[in-house]
C-alpha cells in the first residue's frame, strides 16, 4: 500500500532569523538539512511517497537543497499551500498573505493522499524509532473499521532547548494511551531539573516526563472530513480576525476527540528531539548529528 509522508515546509522561521529559511539550514556533516534525515528515516521505515507542502517562492531553493536528491529515490509530490482556496461561499481577506496554519497545510495536500499517511514538521528531528512506530501503527490499522489515528508522544524534557522558551502541546492520555486532550502551553523553559511555563497568572511547574506533541501524527485518508469541517468553521470568523488567525492541526485533533467517532493512540518514545526554534539551536543539532554519524546511525554522506 501507499504509505505517504506529508511534510509541512511552508513557513519562514522569524525567530530563526529575518528572511532565513530554517528548513534548509545546513546542519549535517555534508551540508544535509534536518529534513534529509527525516526522509532517510522515513524510507527505512517503509514510507514510499513524500508530499512536500511549500510556498511557491521557496520551491527553487528547496528542490536544490533536498528535492532533487529525494526525487531519485521515492515518489515525490509538491503542493503549494496558497493554492488551496476557500470553499464556495467562504472567503479570506485579500490582504492576508501569511499561510493559514498547519491545519490548512495538511488540507491542501488532500488530493495527493490515497491511503494512510503521517504528518511532520520540516524543521524537527524526530528520530528513526519514531518513524518506525508510526509506520507500524498505520500498517496495522489501515483496514480497521474503527477510525484509528496516532500521535508520536515525546517526553517534555527531550524537547526543550537551552536557548529560550518553546510552545508545546501537553497531552493527557487514558490507561490505554489514547489521547484525551492536548493543552497548548507557551513559553515553556527548563527550570532546574524540571520545567515551567508562563501562564496569564504567572509561572507554573510542568512535569519533565509529561508527554507532548511535536506535530507528528499518523492518519488515514478519512481524516480529511474533519479537516474540511474544521476549515469551514475557521472561515466563519469575521474578516478582521481572519487577517491574523491560523487554522491549526491540533484543533482538528481536538474535534476528533470531542466527536468521539475516532480514537487517537499516543505512541510514547524516548527519542531525543532536535529542532531549530532559534538560530543558536543549530550548533546543538550539528553536534548531535555528528555524534550519531560517529556511532554509525547514519552515514557521513547521507545521499550517495
**In a domain? residue 287:** yes
pLDDT tens profile 266-280: 999 888 999 888 888
**In a domain? residue 189:** no
Q: Which residues of 86-96 are buried (b: 16+ CB within 10 A; e: fewer)?
A: eeeeeebeeee
- Res. 21 pLDDT band, cuts 50 70 90: low
In percent, the amount of the chain with pLDDT more than 70 equals: 95
Mean pLDDT, residues 130-137 taken together = 97
Domain that holds residue 130: 3-144+213-259+273-294
CATH of the domain at 30: 3.90.550.10
**In a domain? residue 134:** yes
**In a domain? residue 52:** yes
Mean pLDDT, residues 74-84 taken together = 91
Closest CA to 126 of 15, 269, 24: 269
Report yes or no: 168 and 159 within 8 Å, Cβ to Cβ: yes
Domain count of the fold of the chain: 1
Query: Helices (DSSP H) in 142-248: which residue ranges?
Result: 224-235, 239-242
Closest CA to 261 of 148, 181, 99: 148
Closest CA to 170 of 199, 130, 148, 134: 199
Instruction: Give the pairing type, strands 211-219 and 262-269.
Output: unpaired
**In a domain? residue 20:** yes
**In a domain? residue 24:** yes
pLDDT for 14 equals 45
Q: Residue 75: CB partners within 8 Å, gap ≥ 6?
A: 48, 49, 50
pLDDT tens profile 177-230: 999 999 889 899 999 889 999 999 999 999 999 999 999 999 999 999 999 999
The whole model's pTM is what?
0.91
Q: Which three cell numbers stand for residue 27?
A: 546542519
**In a domain? residue 252:** yes
**In a domain? residue 186:** no
Amino acid at each position: 500500500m501507499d504509505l505517504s509522508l506529508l511534510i509541512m515546509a511552508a513557513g519562514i522561521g522569524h525567530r530563526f532569523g529575518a528572511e532565513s529559511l530554517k528548513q534548509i539550514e545546513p546542519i549535517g556533516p555534508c551540508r544535509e538539512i534536518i529534513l534529509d534525515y527525516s526522509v532517510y528515516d522515513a524510507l527505512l521505515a517503509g514510507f514510499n511517497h513524500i508530499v512536500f507542502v511549500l510556498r511557491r517562492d521557496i520551491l527553487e531553493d528547496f528542490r536544490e537543497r533536498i528535492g532533487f536528491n529525494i526525487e531519485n529515490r521515492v515518489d515525490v509530490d509538491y503542493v503549494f499551500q496558497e493554492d488551496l482556496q476557500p470553499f464556495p461561499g467562504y472567503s479570506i481577506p485579500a490582504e492576508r498573505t501569511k499561510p493559514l496554519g498547519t491545519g490548512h497545510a495538511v488540507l491542501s495536500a488532500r488530493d495527493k493522499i490515497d491511503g494512510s499517511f503521517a504528518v511532520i514538521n520540516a524543521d524537527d528531528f524526530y528520530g528513526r524509532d519514531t518513524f518506525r512506530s508510526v509506520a507500524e501503527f498505520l500498517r496495522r490499522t489501515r483496514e480497521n473499521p474503527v477510525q484509528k489515528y496516532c500521535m508520536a508522544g515525546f517526553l517534555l524534557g527531550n524537547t526543550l532547548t537551552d536557548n529560550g522558551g518553546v510552545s508545546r502541546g501537553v497531552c493527557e492520555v487514558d490507561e490505554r494511551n489514547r489521547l484525551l486532550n492536548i493543552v497548548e502551553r507557551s513559553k515553556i523553559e527548563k527550570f532546574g531539573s524540571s520545567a515551567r511555563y508562563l501562564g496569564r497568572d504567572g509561572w507554573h511547574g510542568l512535569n519533565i516526563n509529561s508527554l507532548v506533541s511535536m506535530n507528528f501524527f499518523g492518519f488515514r485518508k478519512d481524516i480529511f472530513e474533519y479537516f474540511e469541517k474544521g476549515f469551514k468553521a475557521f472561515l466563519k470568523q469575521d474578516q478582521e480576525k481572519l487577517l491574523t488567525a491560523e487554522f491549526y492541526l491540533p484543533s482538528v485533533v481536538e474535534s476528533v476527540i470531542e466527536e468521539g467517532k475516532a480514537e487517537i493512540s499516543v505512541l510514547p518514545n524516548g527519542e531525543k528531539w532536535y529542532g531549530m526554534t532559534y538560530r543558536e539551536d543549530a550548533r546543538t543539532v550539528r553536534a548531535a548529528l555528528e555524534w550519531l554519524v560517529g556511532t554509525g546511525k547514519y552515514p557521513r554522506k547521507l545521499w550517495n
